[in-house]
């Protein structure tokens, strides 16, 4: 996992999530806390003027600060920008930048503090450290509180971030909690994270080693039973022939006759695979690959080049640009079919996927 990819992924989270209400939805035994702490640390490091408000439902102010230290994220230089809404204790010394509530269900005070802080600090990030604790109350109370906080924060350009453990709550309660958020970051076993941000998909693998977190992009696994395949060829007979001879396969075909049209269709249709000719009048296949790899939306779509250019140098050039396979014309339809399935199998797809 490269430092460049880690920085790029953190920048995406920093830029995209800061204006959206986001829920990190994860197995309880995952490293989701560390990821959120890292996200907040990265946010403050890159924008020291931004304010973070931490609603301490699960951990106290002291425990939150201890976890920043434990995870290796030094936030001492940003303490003036971090506020806490903590649960009051007669035995604790009152701290700076901290408001206190009587209990986890003191919604009136928590809501009033959210209004006060969001009006005093534009573009703040409001962290609810555990949605599971809120879920112990009635649906109506939960809904009223969360919507009130989100409205107050959003009116001043801020956003809300929280986390929820998978499988802890009843399905209807879990669905309610998720419904309050614009973006769900689905954290999975095996160190994968997936999220849809607007029209784009963020598919990431994270790794924690020696206390450090690194990220890398991955291709999202295809789970549909039928594949949408874009055929790009300036000879109209080719798409028609492929569609006819593979009619019994679980494939749905769309076609483009040139490079520019192929790029537009790839971005708008988001096919599961592209069969791409090299020799086209407006833009050759290599240029199409380059353009698609530069697109955040279409960069991970697998590509099989299908071309009469069969020299080893042609294949190597395609591989260096990031294609997934190469089939020479004239091709045997059985080989093309096998190669489509082979490439997609690497992404977790099979004909009986449901």
| Mean pLDDT value of segment 191-219 | 80
Residue 51 has pLDDT above 50, yes or no: yes
Give strand pairing partners of 230: 254, 274
- Same structural domain for residues 167 and 234? no
Whether 194 and 289 share a structural domain = no
Residue 354 belongs to a domain = no
Q: Is residue 132 pLDDT above 60, yes or no?
A: yes
Least confident of 70-84, 109-123, 175-189: 175-189
Q: pLDDT of 84-126, one tens digit each? A: 999 876 556 788 999 999 888 899 999 999 999 999 998 899 9
210 and 231 together in one domain: no
Q: Which domain holds residue 114?
A: 3-217
Is residue 91, in this structure, part of any structural domain at all? yes
Exposed, middle or buried, 163 (CB in 10 Å: 0-12/13-18/19+)? buried
* pLDDT of 354: 40
Decide: 302 and 292 in contact? Cβ < 8 Å.
Answer: no
Q: What is the pLDDT of residue 307?
A: 82
For residue 207, the model assigns a pLDDT of 85
**Per-residue pLDDT at 353:** 45
- pLDDT-derived band at 302, boundaries 50, 70, 90: very high
pLDDT at 253: 94
- Decide if 123 is inside a domain: yes
Q: Which of 182, 199, 217 is the last residue of a domain?
A: 217
Specify whether 106 is located in the same domain as 181. Answer: yes
Give residue 42's pLDDT.
Answer: 93
Q: What is the mean pLDDT of residues 310-318?
A: 79
CATH of the domain at 330: 3.40.50.2300
268/169 same-domain check = no
Which residue from 54, 145, 66 is spatially nearest to 106, judged by alpha carbons? 145
Same domain, yes or no: 205 and 238: no
Q: What is the pLDDT of residue 89?
A: 63
> Is the residue at 269 inside a domain?
yes
pLDDT at 73 over 70: yes
**Claim to verify: residue 135 and residue 199 sit in the same structural domain:** yes
Q: Is the pTM of this model over 0.85?
A: no
CB-based contact 328:307 (threshold 8 Å): yes
Statement to judge: residues 189 and 64 lie in one domain: yes
Residue appearing with tokens 């403050």: 44
Q: What is the mean pLDDT of the chain?
A: 87
Q: Are 193 and 244 within one domain?
A: no
Indicate the angle between helix axes 3-17 and 32-46, nearest 10 degrees: 80
Q: With cut-offs at 50, 70 and 90, classify the pLDDT of residue 223.
A: low
Look at residue 222 and tell me if it is in a domain. Answer: no
Q: Judge if 186 and 246 occupy the same domain.
A: no
Q: What's the mean pLDDT in 225-240?
A: 90
Instruction: Classify residue 112: in a domain, yes or no.
Output: yes
Task: Please state the rounded mean pLDDT for residues 30-48.
Answer: 88
Query: Do 236 and 200 belong together in one domain?
Result: no
Confidence grade of residue 3 (pLDDT, cut at 50, 70, 90): confident
- Asked whether residue 98 is assigned to any structural domain, the reply reads yes
Q: What is the mean pLDDT of residues 249-253?
A: 92
Is residue 104 situated within a structural domain? Answer: yes
Domain boundary among 186, 217, 248: 217
Residue in the structure block whose two tokens are 């971030």: 161
Task: Please give the C-alpha separations between residue 30 and each of 25, 324, 341, in angstroms, as whole numbers.
Answer: 10, 32, 32
Q: For residue 319, give Cα distances in angstroms to 331, 332, 335.
A: 19, 21, 19
Task: Write the CATH number for 146.
Answer: 3.40.50.300
Whether 68 and 93 share a structural domain = yes
> What is the average pLDDT across 33-60?
92
* Band of residue 243 on the pLDDT scale cut at 50, 70, 90: very high
Q: In the prediction, which pLDDT does 176 show? A: 84
Q: What is the pLDDT at residue 54?
A: 97
**CB-CB contact of 36 with 24 (8 Å):** yes
- Please give the average per-residue pLDDT across 150-157, as a whole number: 93
The larger pLDDT score, comparing residue 54 to residue 92, is at 54
Per-residue confidence (pLDDT) for residue 310, from 0 to 100: 66
Could you tell me which residue, 88 or 202, shows the higher pLDDT? 202
**Per-residue pLDDT, 177:** 87
Q: Is residue 29 pLDDT above 80, yes or no?
A: no
Gyration radius of the chain over CA positions: 25
- Which of 105-109, 132-136, 227-231 shows the lowest per-residue confidence on average (mean pLDDT)? 132-136
Question: Considering its fold, how many domains does the chain have in total?
Answer: 2
């Amino acid at each position: 996992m490269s430092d460049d990819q880690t920085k790029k992924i953190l920048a995406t989270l920093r830029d995209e999530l800061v204006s959206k209400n986001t829920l990190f939805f994860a197995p309880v035994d995952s490293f989701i806390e560390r990821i959120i702490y890292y996200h907040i640390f990265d946010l403050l490091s890159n924008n020291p003027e931004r304010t973070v408000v931490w609603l301490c439902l699960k951990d106290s102010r002291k425990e939150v600060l201890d976890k920043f230290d434990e995870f290796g994220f030094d936030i001492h230089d940003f303490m003036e920008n971090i506020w806490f809404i903590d649960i009051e204790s007669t035995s604790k010394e009152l701290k700076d930048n901290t408001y206190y509530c009587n209990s986890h269900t003191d919604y009136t005070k928590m809501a009033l503090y959210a209004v006060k802080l969001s009006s005093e600090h534009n573009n703040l990030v409001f962290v609810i450290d555990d949605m599971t604790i809120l879920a112990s109350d009635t649906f109506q109370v939960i809904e009223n509180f969360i919507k009130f906080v989100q409205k107050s924060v959003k009116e001043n350009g801020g956003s809300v971030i929280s986390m929820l453990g998978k499988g802890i709550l009843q399905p209807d309660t879990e669905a309610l909690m998720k419904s309050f958020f614009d973006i769900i970051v689905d954290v999975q076993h095996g160190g994968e994270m997936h999220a849809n941000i607007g029209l784009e998909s963020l598919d990431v693998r994270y790794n924690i080693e020696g206390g450090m977190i690194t990220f890398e992009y991955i291709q999202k696994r295809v789970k549909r039973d039928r594949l949408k395949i874009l055929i790009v060829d300036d000879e109209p007979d080719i798409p028609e022939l492929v569609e006819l001879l593979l009619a019994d396969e679980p494939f749905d075909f769309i076609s483009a006759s040139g490079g520019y049209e192929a790029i537009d269709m790839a971005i708008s249709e988001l096919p599961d695979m592209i069969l791409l000719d090299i020799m086209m009048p407006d833009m050759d296949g290599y240029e199409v690959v380059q353009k698609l790899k530069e697109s955040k939306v279409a960069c991970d779509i697998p590509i099989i080049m299908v071309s009469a250019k069969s020299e080893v140098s042609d294949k190597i050039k395609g591989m260096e640009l990031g294609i997934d396979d190469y089939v020479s014309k004239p091709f045997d339809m059985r080989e093309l079919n096998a190669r489509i399935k082979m490439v997609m199998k690497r992404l977790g797809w099979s004909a009986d996927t449901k």
